[in-house]
Structure 1
Amino acid sequence: MSFDVSRVRAFYPALSDEYAWLDAAAGTQVPQTVIDAIAGAYRAGIGNAHGAFPASARSDAIVAGARRAVADLVGGVPEGVVLGPNMTTLTYRFATAFARGWRPGDQIVLSRLDHDANVRPWVQAAGRAGVEVRWADVELPSGELPAAQYEKLVTGRTRLVAVTAASNVLGTMPDVARISAIAHAAGALTYVDGVHATPHLPVDVAELGADLYATSAYKWSGPHIGAVVAAPDLLARLVPDKLASAPEEAPERFETGTLPFADLAGVSAAVDHLAGLDPEARGSRRARVLASMAAVRDHEQAELSHLLKGLAALPSVRLIGSPRRRTATAYFTVEGRTPREVAEHLAARRINVWDGHCYAWELTAALGIRDSGSAVRAGLVHYNDRSEVERLLAALEEL
C-alpha cells in the first residue's frame, strides 16, 4: 500500500500543536480512539477484579481484552501475557524470580547495546545469587552487536541471555533469532527487550526465539503500561514474590497490586489502531497488525533514509553508529554545541527531540560520550512526515 501519513496524523489530537514530535523513542502520542477508550472505561464505571457485580465484570473483560491485544501484537497467547506498570518494573520482577533458581557457578549473558532496564535488574540479581555476568560487546564505530560472539559467551552453565531487539539510541537491530538459537542450544533462556523494536516493524516472538519478550504500550501509541509475553508453561515454572492472598495462577501471580483497568482499555484500543494503519488489510487482528506494521516499517525507513542523507550533508553533525539494520532512530552530535544546547535550540523552533544517555548506560560509556552529555536523539514513528524531517534538518543547519 501507499502509506497515507496525512490520514494517520489526523487520528492524533496532540499533533495539531504545530510541533514536530520527533521524540517518539521516549514515548509516542496517542490517537483519539485510545483517549476515548480510557475515558469510556471510567464513564461506564469500573470495579476491582473478580467481583460479583457488573462493574467488576467490566474490569475483568478489559484485562482479558488487553491480554488478547498484546498477544495479537507480538504473536503470543493471552495466557502468557503479564501486565504491569512498565517494562523496568516487570524486568526486576522476573529477574528476582529467575535468580531464585540460580546457583554460584551459573552464568548470564548481557549486552552493552541494551537499555539499562535490560541490564541492571539482571546484574543486581546475579550479584545477589553469586552468578557470573558475561558481556556481549558492541562493535565500534558501527554500533553492531555481532551474534557470532555468543558462540563463545554462552556455555553449558549459561542460564539466561538478555538482549535487545533494537537499540533505543542507535536503532541497531541485532540478529536476535541467531542469538536465541545459540542460547537454546546450550539450554539457556532468552529475555528479549522489544520496547524499541515493537513500534517499528512486525514482531513475531516465535521467529525471534524469545522465551520472554518485553514491550511497552506507550511506545506504540498506548498508555503507560508494560507487558512481558512468554509461554504459559514457562510462567508456571517461575515463582515470583507475591502476597499470600494474591492469585496463584500465571500470569496473574506476576501482577502485584490492582491493575490500572482504564489504561488497559487503552492498550486494546492502541492495538486496534495499529491494526488499522493499513486500511486495506484484511483477516484477523493479528493478520492486520502484521500488514499494517510492514507498511509502517516501509514508511519509516523512507523517512529515515532522507534524514540520514540530510544529516550527512551537514559538516558539523556527526551521526553515531552505522548499523546495517536499524529502526528509524538517529543519534548524533553537533560540533561546538552540547547535546542539551542542540535540544534547546530545536525546542525553540518547536521541534521535540531528546538528549542525553537515554538510559543506554553501557553503550554511551563504550562510545566514550556518557560523561559529556552523550548525544541528541531523533526518533521517527508512523505519524511523522517528510515536513518534520525537513524542519529538523533546517534547524540543525542554522547551528
Structure 2
Amino acid sequence: MPETTFPIEKVRNLFPALQIKDQEQVFPIYFDGPGGTQMAQPCLDRMTEYITTGMANLHGTFPTSQRTDALLLEAKTAVGDLLNCKAEEVAFGQNMTSLAFQVSNSLRSFLKEGDEIVVTQLDHRANVDPWLYLAKETGAVVKFIPVNKDDFTLDLTKLEEIITKRTKLVAVGLSSNLTGTVSNAKIIFQKAREVDAFTIADAVHAVPHFPVDFESLDCDILFCSAYKFFGPHLGIAVIKADLFNKLPVAKLKPAPNEIPYKLETGTQNHEAIAGLCGAIEFIAKLGSGGHRKQRLRTGMEFIKAYEEELMKDLEGFLKNIPEVTLYRAPDKIEKTPTFAFRIKNIHSRKATEFFAEKYNLCIGDGHFYAATMAEIFPVMATGGWIRIGFAPYNTREEIEIFKKALKDLLFMNSK
C-alpha cells in the first residue's frame, strides 16, 4: 500500500549528510536546496558501485566497457521517465550553464541579423546570457519579458508585441530560483510556436519540486541539473529529436554523429551518471503505480504536497514580521518553497553568518544569479536577498529553529 503521510523520517535517513553533527554536536539544517540539495543514499550507492566494480570508457568488447554502455542507456531512459521525453533526446554535460552555451553556439547558423531573441527578467542568468551571447554573435535583437514589480510574476500583457514574426528564439524559466514563482511557460511557448521560434525551458528549479512534462510543455529544448534533485553535479539537456538531428554541434571528427551522443563531447562523468540513476530511483520509491513513469510522477506529487505544507508555515511567519520584506507572489500564484527576503537595517551577509554560527542554519545570501532582478529591485547595497529553500528532507521542527533564530537576530539588532 502506498504511504498516505509523507514518510519524513524514512526520507531523512536516506541522506547521510543530515546525520553528521558539527563541532558543537549540532545537526546542520540545510535550507539551501535551491543552490543544490544533499545527495540521497541510492545516488551514493550507485556511484560507489560503478567506481568500485571497475570503470571503463565506452564501446569496448570487455565487460566493464559494456556495463558503461548499458549505464548510459539506463540513465537516459530513467530521465525519459522522469521528464516524459525520449531516451534519444537526453544528453549529459558538465552543468546546465555549459550545456546552454554549447546549444547556443549550435543554433548560430539558424539566426541572422535583425532576428529577435526573447528572454525574461525573472530568470537565472544561465537561461539569459547564452542567448544574449547568441544575439551578439548573429546581430539578433534581444527583448525581455518584464517582471511585474507588484506580484513578482512575468508580465504577459504585451506578449503580442514582444513575440513577433521576427522572433526566432524564446527562453523561459519554469520556476524562479529566487522568488519561487512558477511561470506560465506553456502560454509563452504556444505564442512562440505560432511564429516558428525555438522554445527553451530552464527547468533547473522546477524539477526538484513538481512533475515536469517535456511532451506537454511542447518546447524544443529543456535543461535541468541533477544536483538540484538529490543527485550529483551533472547537467541534463533534453532536445526534441527532429531539432536535435539538425543541430551542427562542435565535436571531434571520429565522435558519433547520431543523437544524443553528438552533443556529449569527450568522456562523460560516468560515475555521476550512475548517481543520477540512484537519485531518480529515490523519487520513484516515494510514488506508487505499475510502472516507473507513474511512480516518478506520483512521487513528485507527494514531494510537492509535503513541501507546500512547509511553505505555508514559513510564509505565514515571514509575512507577520514587520522588519522582513518578502519577495513573494500572491497566494493565487503557484510557487515553489523558495523564499527571498531582506531584513530591515541588517546586511544579508551578516544575517546568514549569524544563522550559520549560532544555529547551524545553511541559508544563502546574494543575487543567486538572478542578476536582472537584483537591478530591478536594487538590493545589492545591503548584500542582496536572504534565500531559504526547502527540500523533502526538511521539517517543521527545523522551521521552528529558524523562527527562533530570526527573532534572536532581531532582538540583538534592536539593542
> For this structure pair, what is the TM-score category when the shorter chain's length is used for normalisation?
over 0.9
Match of 1:377 in 2: 387
Choose which of 337, 341, 344 in structure 1 pairs with 2:346: 337
**1:314 and 2:317 matched:** no
Letter in 1 for 2:389: G
Match of 1:3 in 2: 6
Choose which of 45, 66, 87 in structure 2 pairs with 1:57: 66
Choose which of 290, 295, 301 in structure 2 pairs with 1:294: 301
Match of 2:399 in 1: 389
Change in Cα spacing, 1:313 to 1:123, as seen in structure 2 (3 Å) is same
Please say if residues 314 and 397 of structure 1, whose CA atoms lie closer than 8 Å, have aligned partners that are also in contact.
no
Match of 1:121 in 2: 130
Q: Show structure 1 runs of 5+ residues with no match.
A: none
Choose which of 270, 279, 285 in structure 2 pairs with 1:261: 270
Q: Show structure 2 runs of 5+ residues with no match.
A: 21-26, 410-415
Select between 80-89 and 97-106 the one with higher mean Cα deviation: 97-106
Query: Matches of residues 180-199 of structure 1 in structure 2 within 5 Å?
Result: 180-199=189-208
Q: CA deviation at 1:110?
A: 0.5
Please say if residues 147 and 175 of structure 1, whose CA atoms lie closer than 8 Å, have aligned partners that are also in contact.
no
Select between 367-376 and 241-250 the one with higher mean Cα deviation: 367-376
Secondary structure of the corresponding residue to residue 355 of structure 1:
strand
Please say if residues 176 and 209 of structure 1, whose CA atoms lie closer than 8 Å, have aligned partners that are also in contact.
no
Query: Matches of residues 206-285 of structure 1 in structure 2 within 5 Å?
Result: 206-278=215-287, 281-285=288-292
Measured in 1, the distance between the counterparts of 2:33 and 2:223 equals 18
Select between 76-85 and 241-250 the one with higher mean Cα deviation: 241-250
Please say if residues 141 and 320 of structure 1, whose CA atoms lie closer than 8 Å, have aligned partners that are also in contact.
no
Identity of aligned residues (%): 35
Change in Cα spacing, 1:206 to 1:151, as seen in structure 2 (3 Å) is farther
Match of 2:355 in 1: 346
Match of 1:305 in 2: 312
Secondary structure of the corresponding residue to residue 276 of structure 1:
helix
Choose which of 12, 15, 18 in structure 1 pairs with 2:18: 15
Match of 2:80 in 1: 71
**In the TM superposition, what whole-angstrom CA distance separates every residue of 1:249-296 from its partner, at most 9, and x where no partner exists?**
111111111001111011011101111123xx1211110010011111
**In the TM superposition, what whole-angstrom CA distance separates every residue of 1:269-325 from its partner, at most 9, and x where no partner exists?**
1101111123xx121111001001111111111100100111122221111132511
Secondary structure of the corresponding residue to residue 186 of structure 2:
helix
Please say if residues 191 and 212 of structure 1, whose CA atoms lie closer than 8 Å, have aligned partners that are also in contact.
yes
Match of 1:26 in 2: 35
Measured in 1, the distance between the counterparts of 2:201 and 2:75 equals 20
Q: CA deviation at 1:391?
A: 1.1
Match of 2:24 in 1: none
Measured in 2, the distance between the counterparts of 1:126 and 1:188 equals 14
Please say if residues 201 and 222 of structure 2, whose CA atoms lie closer than 8 Å, have aligned partners that are also in contact.
yes
Please say if residues 147 and 174 of structure 1, whose CA atoms lie closer than 8 Å, have aligned partners that are also in contact.
no
Letter in 2 for 1:379: G
Letter in 2 for 1:16: Q
Match of 2:169 in 1: 160
Match of 2:372 in 1: 362
Measured in 1, the distance between the counterparts of 2:158 and 2:192 equals 12
Letter in 2 for 1:394: K
Secondary structure of the corresponding residue to residue 100 of structure 1:
helix
Return the TM-score normalized by structure 2: 0.94
Select between 363-372 and 21-30 the one with higher mean Cα deviation: 363-372
Q: CA deviation at 1:148?
A: 3.7
Q: CA deviation at 1:371?
A: 4.4
Secondary structure of the corresponding residue to residue 204 of structure 2:
coil
Please say if residues 105 and 130 of structure 1, whose CA atoms lie closer than 8 Å, have aligned partners that are also in contact.
yes
Q: CA deviation at 1:364?
A: 1.4
Select between 150-159 and 340-349 the one with higher mean Cα deviation: 150-159
Q: CA deviation at 1:224?
A: 0.4
Secondary structure of the corresponding residue to residue 350 of structure 2:
helix
Change in Cα spacing, 1:148 to 1:69, as seen in structure 2 (3 Å) is farther
Secondary structure of the corresponding residue to residue 154 of structure 2:
coil
Secondary structure of the corresponding residue to residue 341 of structure 1:
helix
Please say if residues 311 and 337 of structure 2, whose CA atoms lie closer than 8 Å, have aligned partners that are also in contact.
yes
Q: CA deviation at 1:146?
A: 2.8
Measured in 1, the distance between the counterparts of 2:210 and 2:231 equals 16
Match of 1:328 in 2: 337
Secondary structure of the corresponding residue to residue 200 of structure 1:
coil
Measured in 2, the distance between the counterparts of 1:220 and 1:23 equals 12
